[in-house]
């Protein structure tokens, strides 16, 4: 090494140059780094807040019952289970002789299954995507003298957008009251 140079932490210094000391220039660099870190932190918090404000409808399951453990009452009726993933079904409501379930099909759609007890062939289903679920997946079932019109909605959704006199009977089901 030359007599006028020395090495300090892999930085080459000339004898007549003092090493950088925290002064106005060094402090400015530190402040810029701290401001950058704070700005990135604020951006991360803002993105997380936007995601939370949008709710479960952007991420996760729009019907929280689909996340709970399966129970005996969650089993679908035989006549309403075509093309549905039976293990995905959850009972979402019951009113009088009508029982209501949500299930997923092979393509990932949300399906609303309704059965009227005591009615031969008294079950039916209809499916929709997440957007349809937000507005309400409506199913009308008429079996003999029994009939029911109901709508399945996502958690926290308002009454279905379809015409009718809707009455909420559970977190995810509305009945049309003629």
Residues 77 and 158 in one domain: yes
Q: Which residue has the higher pLDDT, 47 or 73?
A: 73
Residues 149 and 71 in one domain: yes
Residues 97 and 170 in one domain: yes
Residues 86 and 137 in one domain: yes
Residues 91 and 52 in one domain: no
Residue 26: what pLDDT?
54
Given the DSSP bridges, would you call strands 146-152 and 123-128 parallel, antiparallel or unpaired?
unpaired
pLDDT digits (tens, 9 = 90+) for 39-69: 444 443 333 333 333 333 345 789 999 999 9
pLDDT band (50, 70, 90) for residue 174? very high
How far is the C-alpha of 95 from the C-alpha of 11, rounded, in Å? 79
Residues 29 and 80 in one domain: no
Residues 92 and 108 in one domain: yes
Residue 125: what pLDDT?
93
DSSP 114-133: EEETTSTT-EEEEEE-HHHH
Q: How many domains does the chain have?
A: 2
Token pair listed for 96: 């009088």
Residue 178: what pLDDT?
73
Whether the pLDDT of residue 111 is over 70: the answer is yes
pLDDT digits (tens, 9 = 90+) for 137-173: 999 999 888 899 999 999 999 999 999 999 999 999 9
DSSP 84: B
Residues 74 and 91 in one domain: yes
* Boundary (domain end) residue, out of 36, 56, 76: 56
Residue 18: what pLDDT?
53
How far is the C-alpha of 74 from the C-alpha of 156, rounded, in Å? 21
Whether the pLDDT of residue 105 is over 70: the answer is yes
Task: Give the list of residues 6+ apart from residue 78 with CB closer than 8 angstroms, or none.
Answer: 123
Residues 44 and 75 in one domain: no
Residues 40 and 113 in one domain: no
Residues 151 and 98 in one domain: yes
How far is the C-alpha of 79 from the C-alpha of 69, rounded, in Å? 23
Residues 81 and 50 in one domain: no
Q: pTM (2 decimals)?
A: 0.65
Structural domain harbouring 48: 5-56
> Can you tell me the mean pLDDT for 106-113?
95
pLDDT digits (tens, 9 = 90+) for 1-16: 444 444 444 445 455 5
């Amino acid at each position: 090494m030359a007599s006028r140079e020395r090495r300090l932490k892999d930085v080459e210094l000339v004898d007549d140059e003092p090493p950088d000391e925290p002064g106005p220039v060094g402090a400015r660099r530190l402040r810029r780094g701290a401001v950058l870190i704070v700005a990135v932190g604020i951006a991360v918090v803002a993105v997380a807040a936007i995601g939370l404000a949008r709710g479960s409808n952007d991420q996760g399951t729009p019907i929280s019952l689909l996340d709970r453990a399966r129970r005996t009452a969650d089993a679908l009726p035989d006549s309403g289970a075509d093309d549905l993933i039976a293990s995905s079904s959850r009972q979402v409501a019951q009113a009088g002789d009508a029982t209501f379930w949500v299930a997923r099909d092979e393509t990932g759609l949300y399906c609303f299954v309704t059965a009227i007890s005591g009615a031969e062939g008294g079950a039916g289903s209809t499916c929709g995507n997440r957007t349809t679920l937000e507005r309400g997946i409506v199913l009308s079932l008429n079996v003999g003298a029994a009939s029911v019109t109901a709508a399945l909605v996502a958690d926290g959704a308002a009454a279905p957008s379809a015409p009718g006199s809707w009455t909420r009977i559970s977190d995810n089901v509305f009945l049309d009251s003629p």
